[in-house]
């Protein structure tokens, strides 16, 4: 079964396209901060960062081509961290 | 490339005898069994030291005022007792000793997934221990913050905090290395036919524990790092004078240290889940419920850290949230108790030393668990916070839970680990004295706490004198029990009768191999077809 | 860690998939290590929103953007080196890895100038300027140095890791049917990139 794992070769072109997408998103997020969107500035920057990290995880880190179980683990870890932050803010938001 | 364990033609990669002799054959061995024993011996030494510190504290408390030590010595004693017991013994305890020794054997593997990483984790453990303990002897006096290193005192105190904090940080790596190793071992190296639901419960518990080790330890790692930066570079993370929030330190610390309680207790529950069906000669009742509750404890246990901070000044919303979540986490623990008791129902029980340890575990764990409910409720917590009640509660859980399971485990697996049988009657006498001493020591502390005796003071008012005398005498009794137990075990390693492969008629895989197991555990990797506790 | 390396292992257990699982789990610990700092960041930012905005203006967005681009490109080249290895092109693998290392070096040089610029302006933990600044700004720079410093440390570790794997590639110990360690060094490098993807907007783009 491991044979399938490693016979999947990602093409150079795919990586190049992903890089271009990542760079475009970087420049958008830099440009967005120039415009004053109020509280949405942070939201926009973080949203773009999330998209970028999803691209890195899926393509560069091969989650898209690996067994599903890796993707599930990664998602759970991010979910865990999110839950911890939310619960921590139960304190700070209402103090 | 597929996973391969080739047939060995020449020297096995596990073979240590060819390369090193004597002590080096142990401290450079990548054999999981030797690493498990290395941990056992290291912990035995550290445990004796920390237990004697505890005894010294109880002797100090036998009478009001200064008895044998002054306040500062007492402060450093409870700090060192806590650091050693928590970071060096109960957190790594069961996984590092019995997990290393038995996880591969119980799932039918020849070793853990990363044997060299395993050896490295022991070395990091030893280095971390030396760094942490060096704090006692170097520089400006022993640390006096308690094992929790609460800010802002931990960077204001003039004592020698840096080595203690750095040592705890380093020990985290050891814990993480073991965790990674066990998760991959369970995922990749189960014997053919051993599906997830045919895996024995101790490996299941180790699996849950490993996830907590991996996912919680880094948070305390970075928190301790922040304390180091705070002390050395005045960054101001937790210093109110520099804008920081000391309560954030408590949050970050307990985000690790509460799950750490489950790192301690989950493998203990796993041990009990092995001992009970073996001596009840019965399949465990509700195997799946135990598995699910193990994972549920691991998961929910991550979100209850705030119940250590009810009086810190958190927001009301946070208080309710943490209190409710704390009551949730009690549910899976109770499920396990019911499963164990139900397994005993109508069983033809073979009463042996390990089984007696398991029974005592059930008793003390229930006392500890129920007193935990008292502390988990907001209103009673305010009354009992930082009193002797808390000390009694966590000794019932941590010492009563993990400690009893540790001794239960060693009496259960001793014949397998050393190939010798210990003297059973002395073991039982030791247990009886220990158990009596334990309850005499800690039960009065519940009362003392309720009547208002604070923890972490070397002195108290006269009203508390009576129960403190009882408690201190209990400590002496408990230590004498411990001495009998440990002496019996050490002596039997040399003089005990040779043990059979399966002295308790256990059904899990470790009982199918010789006592002690051969270098590669199995001549041929077994194929598993049955449920682990197939007595019927 | 291993004193066995010079020994010939007749039948060492080899499990590439297991090695990868182990690497991923290690990456989770790294994510949570930074997670602790991100929690501290979000709390202090919530408590001092204005000071964080003011302090962030001290940081040079251009330098930050250049470093982001550098890391993204290096992430691509290390990913490409794995494909090159699978195509059995050793030379191209080494070229991609060399580019990655050079980019990492460029990142560090950039970082050096950024930090020394800050320090020469008197902005460093414990400095007089910061003692007089508002508490929020002090926290911002404390977090800035701690988080980018820890990240830079990871860059250095990643460079050492990639360098070691390059050495194995040169010695033909990593080949098209045996490149788990190359994949793992790549995963580690992407992790470094991943963390920077979040550090960049949180420190440079909140003005």
Q: What is the DSSP string of B313-336?
A: T--HHHHHHHHHHHHHHHHHHHHH
List, as ranges, residues 46-65 from A with C-beta within 8 Å of C.
Answer: 46, 48-49, 52-53, 56-57, 59-62
Of the listed ranges B46-60, B90-104, C52-66, the least confidently predicted one is: C52-66
Reading the block at residue B358, the tokens are 């398991």
Q: How close are the terminal C-alpha atoms of chain B, in Å? A: 41
Give the residue from chain B lying closest to A7, CA to CA.
Answer: B1
pLDDT value for C11: 52
pLDDT value for B451: 95
The strand pairing partners of C178, in sequence order, are C175
The helix (run of H) or strand (run of E) holding residue A26 is helix A12-34
A6 pLDDT more than 60: no
A3 pLDDT more than 70: no
User: Do A11 and A72 contact (CB within 8 A), yes or no?
Assistant: no
Mean pLDDT taken over chain A? 88
Contacts of A93 in chain B (CB under 8 A): 315, 317
Encode pLDDT of C106-156 as tens digits.
999 999 999 999 999 888 887 888 888 888 999 999 999 999 999 999 999
| Nearest-angstrom CA–CA distance, C33 and C164 | 24
Smallest CA–CA distance, residue A83 to chain C, in Å, is 11
Contacts of C72 in chain A (CB under 8 A): 19, 22-23, 26
Encode pLDDT of B411-441 as tens digits.
999 999 999 999 999 999 999 999 999 999 9
Smallest CA–CA distance, residue C85 to chain B, in Å, is 15
Q: Closest Cα to residue C198, out of B223, A57, B249?
A: A57
So what's the architecture of C17-205 in CATH? Up-down Bundle (1.20)
User: Do B484 and B433 contact (CB within 8 A), yes or no?
Assistant: yes
Smallest CA–CA distance, residue A31 to chain B, in Å, is 31
Inter-chain CB pairs, A–C, below 8 Å: 113
Give the residue from chain B lying closest to C131, CA to CA.
Answer: B242
Distances (CA, A) of C140 to B19, B241, C147, C166, C202: 54, 15, 10, 38, 10
Q: What's the pLDDT band for A2 if we cut at 50, 70, 90? A: very low
Contact A80 B302 (CB under 8 A): yes
∠ CA B135-B140-B145, nearest 5°, is: 60
3-state secondary structure of B240: helix
A19 to chain C, any CB pair closer than 8 A? The answer is yes
3-state secondary structure of C162: helix
| Nearest-angstrom CA–CA distance, B44 and B40 | 6
Mean pLDDT taken over chain B? 92
> Is the CA virtual torsion B223, B227, B229, B230 positive or negative?
positive
Among B3, B113, B180, beta carbon nearest to C26: B180
What is the separation of C-alpha C70 from the centre of its chain, rounded to a whole number of angstroms?
11
The helix (run of H) or strand (run of E) holding residue B498 is strand B497-498
Contact A85 C39 (CB under 8 A): yes
B9 pLDDT more than 90: no
Longest dimension (CA), chain C: 65
Q: Is the peptide bond before C22 cis (omega within 30 degrees of 0)?
A: no
Please indicate whether residue B123 or residue B2 has the higher confidence score (pLDDT). Answer: B123
List, as ranges, residues 30-49 from C with C-beta within 8 Å of B.
Answer: 30, 32-37, 39-40, 43-44, 47-48
| Nearest-angstrom CA–CA distance, A61 and C116 | 33
Chain B contact partners (≥3 CB pairs within 8 A)? A, C
The helix (run of H) or strand (run of E) holding residue B497 is strand B497-498
If you average pLDDT over residues C56-85, what whole number do you get?
A: 94
Encode pLDDT of B267-276 as tens digits.
999 999 999 9
Contact C205 A84 (CB under 8 A): no
* Most confidently modeled range among A24-33, B325-334, C67-76, C197-206: C67-76
pLDDT value for C205: 87
pLDDT value for B520: 86
User: Do B248 and B161 contact (CB within 8 A), yes or no?
Assistant: no
If you average pLDDT over residues B112-138, what whole number do you get?
A: 93
C139 to chain B, any CB pair closer than 8 A? The answer is yes
Q: Closest Cα to residue B33, out of B335, B416, B297?
A: B416
User: Do C56 and C174 contact (CB within 8 A), yes or no?
Assistant: no
pLDDT value for B1: 33
DSSP designation for C3 = S
In chain C, where the domains are located: 17-205
C193 to chain A, any CB pair closer than 8 A? The answer is yes
pLDDT value for B12: 54
B3 pLDDT more than 70: no
User: Do B20 and B116 contact (CB within 8 A), yes or no?
Assistant: no
DSSP designation for B6 = P
Longest dimension (CA), chain A: 55
pLDDT value for B523: 86
Q: Which residues contact B132 (CB under 8 A, 6 or more apart)?
A: B83, B84, B87, B88, B163, B164, B166, B167, B168, B170, B171
Q: What's the pLDDT band for B42 if we cut at 50, 70, 90? A: very high
Among B3, B11, B219, beta carbon nearest to C10: B11
If you average pLDDT over residues A29-47, what whole number do you get?
A: 82
Among C25, C36, C150, beta carbon nearest to B180: C25
Interface mutation target, options B214, B244, B315, chain A, most CBs of A under 10 Å: B315
ipTM value:
0.92
B21 pLDDT more than 90: no
| Nearest-angstrom CA–CA distance, A22 and A49 | 9
Q: What's the pLDDT band for B536 if we cut at 50, 70, 90? A: low
User: Do B378 and B310 contact (CB within 8 A), yes or no?
Assistant: yes
Angle separating helix axes C49-56 and C135-170, nearest 10 degrees: 60
pLDDT value for B20: 72
B450 pLDDT more than 80: yes
User: Do B110 and B520 contact (CB within 8 A), yes or no?
Assistant: yes
Encode pLDDT of A52-86 as tens digits.
999 999 999 999 999 999 999 999 999 999 999 99
If you average pLDDT over residues B69-95, what whole number do you get?
A: 94
pLDDT value for A4: 45
Contact B247 A2 (CB under 8 A): no
Contact A92 B315 (CB under 8 A): yes
Residue-wise DSSP of B444-472: HHHHHHHTTPBSS-S---GGGHHHHHHHH
Q: What's the pLDDT band for A1 if we cut at 50, 70, 90? A: very low
Please indicate whether residue B14 or residue B107 has the higher confidence score (pLDDT). Answer: B107
**Quick one: what percent of chain C has pLDDT higher than 90?**
76
Contact B222 C15 (CB under 8 A): no
pLDDT value for A73: 95
Give the residue from chain A lying closest to B255, CA to CA.
Answer: A84
| Nearest-angstrom CA–CA distance, C158 and C75 | 12
**Quick one: what percent of chain B has pLDDT higher than 90?**
82
Q: Closest Cα to residue B162, out of B148, B143, B137, B175?
A: B143
- C93-106 burial, b at 16+ Cβ within 10 Å, e below that, comes to bbebbebbbebbeb
User: Do B7 and B490 contact (CB within 8 A), yes or no?
Assistant: no
- Residue with structure tokens 């129920």? B370
Q: How many CB atoms lie within 10 A of CB B211?
A: 26
Q: Which residues contact B180 (CB under 8 A, 6 or more apart)?
A: B114, B117, B210, B214, C22, C25, C26, C29
Among A6, A56, A77, beta carbon nearest to C28: A77
Contacts of A84 in chain C (CB under 8 A): 35, 39
- B10-39 burial, b at 16+ Cβ within 10 Å, e below that, comes to eebbbbbeeeeeeeeeeeebbbbbbbbbbb
pLDDT value for B135: 87
Q: How many helices (H) and strands (E) does chain B have?
A: 18, 2
pLDDT value for C6: 38
Mean pLDDT taken over chain C? 90
What is the separation of C-alpha B41 from the centre of its chain, rounded to a whole number of angstroms?
15
Encode pLDDT of B159-191 as tens digits.
888 899 999 999 999 999 999 999 999 999 999
| Nearest-angstrom CA–CA distance, C131 and B154 | 21
**Quick one: what percent of chain B has pLDDT higher than 70?**
96
pLDDT value for B14: 55
Q: Is the peptide bond before B152 cis (omega within 30 degrees of 0)?
A: yes
- Residue with structure tokens 């180790």? B206
pLDDT value for C143: 94
Contact A61 C187 (CB under 8 A): yes
Contact C190 A11 (CB under 8 A): no
B376 pLDDT more than 90: yes
Smallest CA–CA distance, residue B316 to chain A, in Å, is 7
Smallest CA–CA distance, residue B7 to chain A, in Å, is 20
C2 pLDDT more than 50: no
pLDDT value for C191: 97
A79 to chain C, any CB pair closer than 8 A? The answer is no
Q: Which residues contact C69 (CB under 8 A, 6 or more apart)?
A: A23, A26
Q: What's the pLDDT band for B13 if we cut at 50, 70, 90? A: low
| Nearest-angstrom CA–CA distance, C206 and A36 | 10
pLDDT value for B87: 94
User: Do B189 and B109 contact (CB within 8 A), yes or no?
Assistant: yes
Reading the block at residue C142, the tokens are 């404390």
The helix (run of H) or strand (run of E) holding residue B420 is strand B420-421
pLDDT value for B6: 41
Encode pLDDT of B470-505 as tens digits.
999 999 999 999 999 999 999 999 999 999 999 999
Contact A52 C83 (CB under 8 A): no
If you average pLDDT over residues A18-35, what whole number do you get?
A: 91
Contacts of A67 in chain B (CB under 8 A): none
- Residue with structure tokens 């943490």? B322
Q: Would you list which residues of chain B are within 8 Å, Cβ to Cβ, of chain A?
A: 1-3, 215, 247, 251, 255, 302-303, 306, 313-318, 321-322
Q: What's the pLDDT band for C10 if we cut at 50, 70, 90? A: very low
């Amino acid at each position: 079964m491991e044979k399938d794992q490693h016979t999947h070769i990602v093409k150079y072109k795919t990586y190049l396209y992903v890089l271009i997408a990542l760079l475009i998103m970087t420049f958008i997020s830099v440009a967005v901060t120039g415009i004053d969107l109020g509280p949405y500035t942070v939201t926009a920057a973080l949203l773009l960062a999330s998209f970028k990290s999803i691209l890195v995880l899926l393509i560069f880190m091969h989650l898209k081509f690996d067994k599903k179980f890796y993707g599930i683990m990664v998602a759970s870890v991010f979910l865990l961290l999110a839950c911890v932050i939310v619960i921590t803010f139960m304190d700070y938001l209402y103090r | 490339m597929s996973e391969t364990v080739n047939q060995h033609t020449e020297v096995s990669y596990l073979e240590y005898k060819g390369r090193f002799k004597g002590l080096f054959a142990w401290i450079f061995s990548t054999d999981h069994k030797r690493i498990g024993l290395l941990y056992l011996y290291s912990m035995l030494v550290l445990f004796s030291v920390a237990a004697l510190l505890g005894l010294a504290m109880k002797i100090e408390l036998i009478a009001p005022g200064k008895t044998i030590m002054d306040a500062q010595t007492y402060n450093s004693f409870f700090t060192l007792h806590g650091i050693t017991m928590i970071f060096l013994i109960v957190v790594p305890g069961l996984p590092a000793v019995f997990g290393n020794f038995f996880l591969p054997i119980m799932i039918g593997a020849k070793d853990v997934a990363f044997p060299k990483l395993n050896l490295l984790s022991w070395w990091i453990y030893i280095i971390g221990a030396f760094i942490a303990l060096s704090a006692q002897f170097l520089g400006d006096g022993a640390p006096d913050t308690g094992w929790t290193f609460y800010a802002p005192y931990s960077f204001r105190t003039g004592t020698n905090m840096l080595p203690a904090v750095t040592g705890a940080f380093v020990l985290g790596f050891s814990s993480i290395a073991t965790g990674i190793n066990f998760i991959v071992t369970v995922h990749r190296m189960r014997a053919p036919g051993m599906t997830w639901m045919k895996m024995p419960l101790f490996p299941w518990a180790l699996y849950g524990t490993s996830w907590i080790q991996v996912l919680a330890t880094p948070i305390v790692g970075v928190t301790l790092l922040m304390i180091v930066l705070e002390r050395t570079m005045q960054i101001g993370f937790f210093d109110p004078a520099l804008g920081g929030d000391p309560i954030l330190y408590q949050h970050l610390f307990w985000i690790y240290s509460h799950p750490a309680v489950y790192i301690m207790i989950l493998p203990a529950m796993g041990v009990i889940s092995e001992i009970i069906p073996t001596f009840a000669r019965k399949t465990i009742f509700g195997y799946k419920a135990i598995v699910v509750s193990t994972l549920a404890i691991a998961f929910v246990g991550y979100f209850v850290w705030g119940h250590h901070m009810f009086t810190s000044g958190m927001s009301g919303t946070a208080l309710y949230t943490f209190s409710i979540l704390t009551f949730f986490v009690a549910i899976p623990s109770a499920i396990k108790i019911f499963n164990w008791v139900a397994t005993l129902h109508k069983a033809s029980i073979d009463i042996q030393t390990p089984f007696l340890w398991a029974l005592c575990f059930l008793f003390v764990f229930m006392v500890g668990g129920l007193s935990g409910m008292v502390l988990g409720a907001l209103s009673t917590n305010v009354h009992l916070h930082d009193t002797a009640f808390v000390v009694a509660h966590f000794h019932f859980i941590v010492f009563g839970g993990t400690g009893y399971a540790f001794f239960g485990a060693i009496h259960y697996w001793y014949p397998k680990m050393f190939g010798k049988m210990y003297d059973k009657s002395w073991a039982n006498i030791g247990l009886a004295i220990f158990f009596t001493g334990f309850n005499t020591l800690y039960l009065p502390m519940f009362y003392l706490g309720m009547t208002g005796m604070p923890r972490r003071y070397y002195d108290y008012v006269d009203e508390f004198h009576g129960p403190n005398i009882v408690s201190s005498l209990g400590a002496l009794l408990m230590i004498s029990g411990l001495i009998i137990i440990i002496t019996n075990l050490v002596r039997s390693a040399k003089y005990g009768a040779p043990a059979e492969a399966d002295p308790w008629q256990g059904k899990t895989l470790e009982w199918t191999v010789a006592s002690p197991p051969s270098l590669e555990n199995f001549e041929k990797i077994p194929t598993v077809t049955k449920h682990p506790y197939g007595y019927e | 860690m291993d004193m066995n390396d010079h020994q010939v292992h007749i039948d060492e257990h080899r499990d590439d998939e297991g090695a990868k699982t182990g690497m991923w789990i290690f990456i989770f610990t790294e994510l949570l290590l930074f997670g602790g700092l991100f929690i501290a960041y979000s709390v202090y930012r919530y408590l001092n929103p204005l000071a964080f905005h003011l302090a962030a203006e001290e940081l040079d967005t251009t330098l930050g953007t250049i470093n982001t681009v550098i890391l993204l490109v290096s992430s691509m080249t290390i990913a490409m080196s794995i494909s090159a290895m699978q195509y059995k092109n050793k030379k191209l693998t080494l070229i991609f890895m060399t580019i990655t290392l050079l980019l990492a070096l460029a990142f560090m040089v950039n970082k050096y100038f950024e930090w020394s610029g800050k320090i020469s302006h008197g902005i460093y933990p414990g400095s007089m300027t910061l003692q007089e600044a508002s508490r929020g700004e002090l926290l911002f720079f404390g977090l800035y140095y701690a988080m980018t410093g820890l990240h830079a440390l990871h860059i250095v570790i990643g460079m050492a890791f990639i360098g070691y794997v390059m050495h194995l590639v040169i010695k033909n110990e990593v080949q098209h049917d045996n490149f788990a360690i190359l994949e793992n060094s790549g995963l580690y490098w992407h992790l470094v990139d991943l963390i920077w993807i979040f550090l960049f907007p949180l420190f440079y783009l909140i003005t």
